[in-house]
Amino acid sequence: MSNIVPSDEELRRRRRRNSIALALVLAALVLIFYALTIVKMGPAVFNRTL
């Protein structure tokens, strides 16, 4: 059984890909929470004076 050791370049690519995936998941969660908050508050939230 041979161990295949990834090169530094492969590890860097994998880390970058994982970081991008994590950032996309976090951004999606933020958007979902934002949308749910607006939905729970109702459309009247847009009719208030600033």
- Token representation of residue 3: 């161990």
Would you state the pLDDT for residue 45? 72
CA–CA separation, 37 and 12 (whole Å): 37
Helix (H) or strand (E) run with residue 1 in it: none
pLDDT for 38: 83
Q: What is the pLDDT of residue 49?
A: 73
The pLDDT value recorded for residue 1 is 60
Under-50 pLDDT residues of the chain: none
E strand residue ranges, the chain: none
- In Å, what is the CA distance from 9 to each residue of 17, 26, 30? 12, 26, 32
